[in-house]
Amino acid sequence: MSTATSFVYLDYAATTPVDREVAATLAALLTEDADFANPSAPHIAGRRAGVHVRRAASRLAALVGCRPDRLVWTSGATESNNLAIVGAARYRSNRGRHLVTMPTEHKAVTDVFRALERQGFDVTWIEPGTDGVLDPADFEAALREDTQLASIMHVNNETGVIQDIDAIGDICRSRDILFHVDAAQSLGKLPIDLDTQPVDLLSASAHKIYGPAGIGLLYIADRPGCHVEALLYGGAQQRGIRPGTLPVHLIAGFGKAAEIAAARMDDDYGHLQRLRDTLWAGIREVAGLYRNGSAVRSFPGILNVSVDDIEGESLLLALEPLCVATGSACNSKDREPSYVLRALGLSDAAAQSAIRFSFGRMTRMADVELAAERYGDAVARLRQIAPVRAA
């Protein structure tokens, strides 16, 4: 972070700042002198706006290796997950009502499945190992004759654990089960090639890749039996699958962010690895510290650690001006221990002491060096002030 800011932002898994080039792209599409028109309109202004939408679709399609016409614009990954899961479950409900997912998914998946359970669908929640990784054999064992849909995320937003979506997708393909992947944390950061990978539905969001909040996408594979019922009614836009006037500026911003991500993917990844390794080297000696989630199958943009005998809320305060998350940004308001970490077998106390550091393109080495120093100091200070002893 620049010295002009009064905080050090290490919460990129929650959201990222908008890239300046992306912000310029977005701003240039709003006013009277710009291509602001409704792209559904057949007149010249509408057609000009449509060019920006098609260019963005090509960029996103190139990033994930699919045809541009397989992408549906949504308001973000939350909506994409809802559309994919509810839409596919309803579309296939005459064939069967059994669905499969994991307890470690984002709330925008788990809450959707809970709602479907209340509507009479039967959901199997497959537990990961204590490292957060799903064993494909456990996945296969949970499947039934009437299973219609499985939803397994690519990169976990709390731990950074990467699931083997190829192995899981292959199992789904062999049994004609639709496979949905929440890729909000991996789009533009890990290679995705839908032309060759066995994924039927994929959700992503712009604001996790230096694009604007409020725009996301759902990929729908062009395969027999792969379709989603619309959740919204209101027009013929996007073949009726997701009606509503397209936000041309947000879509163009998403497209620009995708183009930059594709060009920078390797550099970004290397940068994240150096940041994560530096931070880990700087804190690993703290007494009673341990890392949450697999250290092997892990995305380097996220490091989640717990520490014995420390309470997470006090730690968060003691860490200021670092902006980090306890467990998950979505869980920080209520004081419930992270359900994701609980599913990895952590005790309530261990889950409550968890801190998620997440970094991005704009994070500097000095930021993680400061974070390591502050973390060690904060733990030492809290242990002195309020020693919590195990009974």
Q: Which residues bind ligand PLP (CB under 6 A)?
A: 76-78, 106, 108, 153, 157, 182, 184-185, 205, 207-208, 216
Residue corresponding to tokens 């704009």: 362
Kindly state the smallest distance separating residue 224's Cβ from ligand PLP, in Å. Answer: 28
Q: How far apart are CA 27 and CA 34, in angstroms?
A: 9
What CA–CA distances, in Å, run from 233 to 75, 136, 183, 245, 351?
A: 15, 38, 26, 12, 41
Nearer to ligand PLP, 318 or 358 (CB): 358
Give me the sheet containing 98-101, strands edge to edge: 71-74, 216-220, 201-205, 178-182, 147-151, 98-101, 122-125
Kindly state the smallest distance separating residue 74's Cβ from ligand PLP, in Å. Answer: 8
**Active-site residue, selected from the candidate residues 172, 226, 323, 330:** 330
Kindly state the smallest distance separating residue 40's Cβ from ligand PLP, in Å. Answer: 24
Q: Would you call 330 a catalytic residue per the annotation?
A: yes
Cβ atoms < 10 Å from Cβ of 110: 20
Mapped onto helix, strand or coil, the DSSP state of residue 296 is coil
Please, what's the b/e burial string for 30-56 (b: 16 or more CB within 10 A of its CB; e: otherwise)?
A: eeeebbebebbeeeeeeeebbebbebb
Q: Which backbone phi and psi does 197 adopt, to 5 degrees?
A: -85, 145
Nearer to ligand PLP, 104 or 352 (CB): 104
Kindly state the smallest distance separating residue 48's Cβ from ligand PLP, in Å. Answer: 28
**Residue closest to ligand PLP when measured from CB atoms:** 76
Nearer to ligand PLP, 184 or 341 (CB): 184
Nearer to ligand PLP, 171 or 215 (CB): 215
What secondary structure, in 3-state letters, does 224-290 show? CCCCCCCCCCCCCHHHHCCCCCCCHHHHHHHHHHHHHHHHHHHHHHHHHHHHHHHHHHHHCCCCCEE
What's the burial of 3, exposed, middle or buried (CB within 10 Å: 0-12/13-18/19+)?
exposed
Nearer to ligand PLP, 50 or 188 (CB): 188
Question: Residue 282 is encoded by which pair of tokens?
Answer: 């700087």
What's the burial of 138, exposed, middle or buried (CB within 10 Å: 0-12/13-18/19+)?
middle
Kindly state the smallest distance separating residue 124's Cβ from ligand PLP, in Å. Answer: 20
Pairing of strands 147-151, 178-182: parallel
Nearer to ligand PLP, 210 or 375 (CB): 210
Nearby residues of 328 by Cβ (< 8 Å), 6 or more positions away: 157, 158, 338, 340, 356
Nearer to ligand PLP, 159 or 352 (CB): 159
Kindly state the smallest distance separating residue 180's Cβ from ligand PLP, in Å. Answer: 12
Which residues, listed in sequence order, are joined to residue 357 by a DSSP beta bridge?
A: 303
Kindly state the smallest distance separating residue 184's Cβ from ligand PLP, in Å. Answer: 3
Just list the catalytic residues: 330
